[in-house]
Amino acid sequence: MKSILAIRELRRAVWLWSFIGAVLVGVIAGVVFGAGTAGNMLSTASAFVVFTVLVGLGQMLVITSGPGNIDLSIPATIALAGSIGMRVMATSNHAILSGIGAVVATGVAIGLFNYVLIRLLRIPPIIATLSSSFVLQSLAISLGRGGAAPPPALENFALSRVGGVSGLAFVGVALTLLVATVLFRLVQGRSLSAVGQNARAAELAGVKVGAVRCLTYVSCSVLAALAALLLAAFSGGATLDMGADYMLLSVAVVVIGGTQVAGGRASPTGVWSAACFLFLINALLNATGAGAGLRAIVYGLLIVGVTAIASGASDARA
């Protein structure tokens, strides 16, 4: 009996599988390419996975808020927020705080805009956020012409290393701890879980369902905007297509990381393990000359496989 319960609990810990997968892929990289190359790969991963983690945390909050909730405006949010941040800072170290404030304000505005489309106009989230992305992308195109480079201090921080670990990783960990604290320690996090599990029951229990969901869309956009700022600093400036890869990735790390697709259960730890796993898979595919199409197929198969495992675990509990 105990062994059966242990197996069920293991199947529920979907994030553990992505963690094991990341370790195995790292070992394979070490065997195939050598310890030095594998070490460089891990050092690089400590920077690049942060961008995926931030957008993944935001998408995780939205998906946790209940069935049908998803934010497809993340790539456009990254493009617009990055352009605004770079323009406000205009390569000046003295304007970094102003730029951060502008980026956060942009994220808040986008999140509110998305929720207004969903709530007031009764548009399904997948349609509302996809529609808003066209508006945001148009604004980014208007602002993106002649965009400035990041301030030297911000760029130096983005490229910094501490013991081989990117300085960006510490920002990612801090924001993850903040999200986890809200989810598992504060009333707002418990309210989100309640809304995701059963919105009607949560409303009868006194939870302001609309306010909770609005906050999740705002939080998602703010995290995407912060990812845009760090990505622009890391890559030497904002570009219109720098968020293109993060629509699929933001969903992939959430699903593979163990967040319940139907809502009600989030897994910040799983976002990290899934982001590392997908980055290392991507690195191996690049090393073998695989194209973007094959990578998309691999991500899709991983999402289907993990969703099937999670569904099997749910059936087992029932």
Cα–Cα dist 227/144, whole Å: 17
Q: One digit per residue, pLDDT tens: the chain, 318 residues?
A: 555 545 555 555 666 777 787 788 778 777 777 777 667 777 788 889 999 999 999 999 999 999 999 999 999 999 999 999 999 999 999 999 999 999 999 999 999 999 999 988 888 999 999 999 999 999 998 886 656 789 999 999 999 999 888 999 999 999 999 999 999 999 999 999 999 999 999 999 999 999 999 999 999 999 999 999 999 999 999 988 899 989 888 998 998 888 988 888 899 999 998 898 888 888 777 777 766 677 778 777 776 776 666 555 444 444
**CA–CA gap between residue 215 and residue 62 (Å, rounded):** 9
The tally of CA atoms less than 13 A away on the side-chain side of residue 23 is 6
Taking the C-alpha atoms of residue 267 and residue 270, their distance in angstroms, rounded to an integer, is 5
- Cα dist. 93→104, 198, 258 in Å? 18, 47, 40
Architecture of domain 15-313: Orthogonal Bundle (1.10)
What residue segments make up the domains of the chain, in order of their start? 15-313
pTM score over 0.85: yes
Supply angle C-alpha 77, 14, 299, rounded to 5. Answer: 50
Beta-carbon contacts of 140 under 8 Å, excluding residues fewer than 6 positions away, are 76, 79, 80, 82, 83, 240
